[in-house]
Amino acid sequence: MARLLECRLNGRDRADAVADNILLLDYLREKTGLTGTKTGCDGGECGACTVLVDDKPMLSCLTLAATVAGKRVDTIESLGEDGQLSAVQRGFHEKLGSQCGYCTPGFIMASAGLLRRNPDPSDAEILEALGGNICRCTGYVKIIEAVKFAIALGKQGVRP
Amino acid sequence: MNKPLPARNIGSYVPMIDGPEKVSGRARYTADIVQPGQLAGRIYRSPYSHAEIIGVDVSEALNVPGVISIVTGDDCDRGFGVLPIARTEYPLARGDVGTEQGFAEARITVEHGELAERDTPRPEPAHSLRLDIGEDVGETEHADAGC
């Protein structure tokens, strides 16, 4: 069966006819064409599909699209303004937090979710917030540096 | 020995040439690319966790609109497989080997339009496949399972 899904996606209200059982990940990648959110493990273990639902990091591969009705959904494509990268995006770019880049959108959304609710987290809080994201390339050191760089940018007023 | 010349780039900071694309989600990976007229594959899984495949009848499925081709284990020289985890990871099994949970009988290639509208109910080509199976062997030892 199908339903009309209404949500505020990346700051814009939209309504789409979707199957009842479509996953949020598939809704984003196939229905709305936003392929920035990645299909990694397809089973909730890697975090590549992380998006923000009402500013809370969620695994979109384990979320039914129907559950975001009436909510705000932010994907990687929503970050940055006026052509400028956001603080976390700049961190991953300038501090080499990406190599192949496939895990990067998920890490960035998880980090942005953390900094939206806590602009000055401790090291332990950073590790806990990113515990659901895995990276095969970098070894994580540059990722943590990227997040700390974003925290410093945040203190200068750059949004996560 | 010659004095080493100063290096211009070694040790200096070089920004990632594709950094902005990767951190903004604009970087395109294989799964992100959709070309007009591209074909897509669907995997039909065994509904039985262990059984002997006697035959797979694909004649009716081939006539479903949008189906381009169907590959079964009979078309392969030997079976192969990976541990299926993602929705797109299913190995093909030979027709004469007992299947395990997740082993596929057939790969169906369809026009991409069929998959692009995955959320719209449509006649499923897989429903037209007929699978004949023998008596369930029910092996309990991995060595005897023949997989």
pLDDT attached to residue B145: 37
- Which residues in chain B touch residue A31, judged by CB atoms under 8 angstroms apart? 119
Least confident of A3-12, B56-65, B128-137: B128-137
Mean pLDDT (whole number) for B64-85: 68
Give strand ranges (E) for chain B. Answer: 39-45, 53-57, 67-72, 104-111, 130-133
Name the burial class of residue A18, with classes exposed (0-12), middle (13-18) and buried (19+) by CB atoms within 10 angstroms of its CB.
buried
* B59 — pLDDT class (breaks 50, 70, 90): confident
Interior CA angle at A105 toward A102 and A111, to 5°? 130
pLDDT attached to residue B52: 65
Q: Which residues contact B79 (CB under 8 A, 6 or more apart)?
A: B73, B91, B92, B93, B94, B97
Q: Which residues contact A10 (CB under 8 A, 6 or more apart)?
A: A34, A73, A74, A75, A77, A78
pLDDT attached to residue B87: 66
pLDDT attached to residue B135: 45
Q: Check whether A14 has a pLDDT greater than 80.
A: yes
CB A8 within 8 A of CB A72: yes
- Which residues in chain B touch residue A94, judged by CB atoms under 8 angstroms apart? 15, 19
Top pLDDT among B85 and A159 is at A159
What is the rounded CA–CA span in Å between residue B98 and residue B49? 9
Top pLDDT among A70 and B71 is at A70
Give strand ranges (E) for A25-106. Answer: 50-53, 56-59, 72-74
Q: Check whether A149 has a pLDDT greater than 90.
A: yes
Query: What is the pTM (predicted TM-score) of this model?
Result: 0.74
What DSSP element (H or E) covers A88?
Answer: helix A87-94
Query: A124 to chain B nearest CA, in Å?
Result: 24
A31 has a chain B CB within 8 A of its CB: yes
Q: Check whether A34 has a pLDDT greater than 60.
A: yes
pLDDT attached to residue B35: 83
Mean pLDDT (whole number) for B107-131: 44
- Which residues in chain B touch residue A42, judged by CB atoms under 8 angstroms apart? 85-88
pLDDT attached to residue B85: 61
What is the rounded CA–CA span in Å between residue A99 and residue A139? 10
A108-148 per-position pLDDT tens digit: 999 999 999 999 999 999 999 999 999 999 999 999 999 99
Nearest CA in chain B to A51: B25
Q: Do A43 and B18 touch (CB under 8 A)?
A: no
Top pLDDT among A83 and A38 is at A38
Q: Check whether B1 has a pLDDT greater than 80.
A: no
Mean pLDDT (whole number) for B100-119: 41
* A36 — pLDDT class (breaks 50, 70, 90): very high
Tokens describing residue A53: 């639902």
Question: Chain B 51-80, CB below 8 Å of chain A: which residues?
Answer: none
Tokens describing residue B83: 């541990």
What is the rounded CA–CA span in Å between residue A160 and residue A118? 11
A149 has a chain B CB within 8 A of its CB: no
The residue assigned the tokens 């990632």 is B16
Among A150, A54, A47, CA closest to A105:
A47
CA distances B94 to A64, B52, B137, Å, are 35, 10, 16
Mean pLDDT (whole number) for B62-80: 73
B26 has a chain A CB within 8 A of its CB: yes
**Residue of A31, A77, A88 with shortest CB distance to B25:** A77
pLDDT attached to residue B53: 66
Q: Check whether A12 has a pLDDT greater than 80.
A: yes
Name the burial class of residue A158, with classes exposed (0-12), middle (13-18) and buried (19+) by CB atoms within 10 angstroms of its CB.
middle
Q: For an interface test with A, which of B119, B120, B122, B124 has the most A Cβ atoms less than 10 Å from its Cβ?
A: B119
B3-16 per-position pLDDT tens digit: 877 777 788 888 89
A98 has a chain B CB within 8 A of its CB: yes
